[in-house]
Amino acid sequence: MTDIPRDHPRYQSLVTREMLVKGVRDGITSMQGLIAHGRGEAFDYLLGEKTTAPALGAEKAAVAMLLLARNPVVSVNGNAAALAAPEMVALAKEVNAGVEVNLFHRTEERVGKIAGLLRSNGCEPLGVHPDRLIPGLSHDRAKASSEGIFTADVVLVPLEDGDRCEALVKMGKKVIVVDLNPLSRSARTATVTIVDNIVRALPNMVKLAEEMKSLPRPELEKIAGGFSNETALSAALDAMMETVQSSKQH
């Protein structure tokens, strides 16, 4: 790992890159994951690399939905594993959710390594021996487990591919995505889109789950029901446009 100087103004962003590079070296993250992250970074730059108030609102609604769910599942891909494995496991514990390895560029070797990482963080993941296929999807990315994603009513799928997000919504599930690109198909199709970096969103959600798990159901229903994905996406675009506008004025 390159030694990143702590006083570098882009310290956090550079450390995040190093975590992904390590993920690739350890056989956890795909090469494509590096490219996907680069796209995310560009949007994060426009967001000011911070959790905006509307993103925090989406995180709150997502946690409420997970707490209300009958069979919630947190899906882990190669990027999420490299950037937020301990937080994904901690969140799953707080909301009583299953954790499933679910890859777009699936190889059994990578599934095994991600499962090992999740086990070392204290959970027994699903998805190692998937027994069902998500309808409407070709290719290995359709694989899912009957106890997990296949029967889940609420799924958190950070950095999800647009096609699979759409297929999960078509199955009648509530789909929560973390996606820095508010224009992506996943962002537009999901039930709740959190326009925030996964490295900020997941720690926020763990903290929110700790605070919210004792709330009565009607209160959680109010929080989840008051969320509008359209409004949240529009607010994210406004925040990005504001950054562009204020840079033009200087």
Binding-site sequence positions for ATP: 17, 39, 179-181, 185-186, 197-198
Q: Is 159 in the site for ligand PTJ (CB under 6 A)?
A: yes
Per-residue DSSP letter, 98: E
> By 3-state DSSP, what share of the chain in percent is helix, strand and coil, each rounded to 5?
55, 10, 35
**What are the distances in angstroms from CA 69 to CA 18, 64, 210, 242?**
35, 9, 16, 36
Q: Is 25 in the site for ligand PTJ (CB under 6 A)?
A: no
Size of the site for ligand PTJ (CB under 6 A): 24
- Closest of 153, 156, 148 to residue 173, by C-alpha: 153
CB of 140 or CB of 153, closer to ligand PTJ: 140
CB of 145 or CB of 181, closer to ligand PTJ: 181
Q: Is 181 in the site for ligand PTJ (CB under 6 A)?
A: yes
**How far is it, in rounded angstroms, from Cα 208 to Cα 56?**
10
The number of helices, as runs of H, and strands, as runs of E, in the chain is: 10, 7
**How far is it, in rounded angstroms, from Cα 87 to Cα 171?**
27
Residue ranges for the known binding site are 17, 39, 179-181, 185-186, 197-198
Stretch that binds ligand PTJ, among 27-35, 88-96, 115-123, 219-227 (CB under 6 A): 27-35
**Which residues of the chain form contacts with ligand PTJ (CB under 6 A)?**
30, 32-33, 36-37, 39-40, 43, 77-79, 83, 103-105, 159, 161, 178-181, 184, 197-198
